[in-house]
Amino acid sequence: MTVDTADGLASLRPTDPEGATARYVFRVEIRLEPDADGLWTDPDRFETTLYRAADTPGTGGWLFFRDTLWRGELADEPHFRRLVEDELGCPVVSASFRELRTEEAYLDALQAEIADDLALFNADSVSEVLNKYLGSSIRVA
């Protein structure tokens, strides 16, 4: 998947965010740059959390973790920073993936969908896929 930076995070947005029970969590550091003479902020940087709703397994966009997160646009941190800057409208100093935060039902559905087509992931097991693409970055609430 290729992202045109003119589209901002459009291709990174979920296809159906309503009712999402899982989300990707990113840590971003933002820098404030007041536009008027004689104005400044202190501190001029702060960290915040950016969330992206996770698509329902098997629906459009559900392969975000494979196509965009692991080997795509978000693996290139400078590129991801630019995408977030475009979307948020302020300078982003750093941006990184933290975790997939989910409920047990979503994780079960994700595992079932992965199991249905392991060849899609070039893997022999569901646990191999989850480890390969998300490592230990899955938190079940």
| pLDDT for the residue numbered 6 | 40
In a domain, 124, yes or no: no
Condensed to tens digits (0 to 9), the pLDDT of residues 5-57 reads 344 455 566 776 777 889 999 999 999 988 888 999 999 999 999 999 999 99
In a domain, 140, yes or no: no
The C-alpha atoms of residue 117 and residue 128 are separated, in whole angstroms, by 13
Residue 106 has pLDDT above 60, yes or no: yes
In a domain, 113, yes or no: no
In a domain, 26, yes or no: yes
Give one DSSP letter per residue of 4-57, joined into a string: -GGGTTGGGS-S--TT--EEEEEEEEEE---SSTT---SS-EEEEEEEEEPPPT
The C-alpha atoms of residue 102 and residue 52 are separated, in whole angstroms, by 12
Q: Specify the number of domains making up the chain.
A: 1
> Cβ of 1: how many Cβ atoms within 10 Å?
12
In a domain, 120, yes or no: no
What is the pTM assigned to this prediction? 0.83
In a domain, 20, yes or no: yes
| pLDDT for the residue numbered 4 | 38
In a domain, 116, yes or no: no
In a domain, 53, yes or no: yes
Structural domain of residue 39, as residue ranges?
A: 5-102
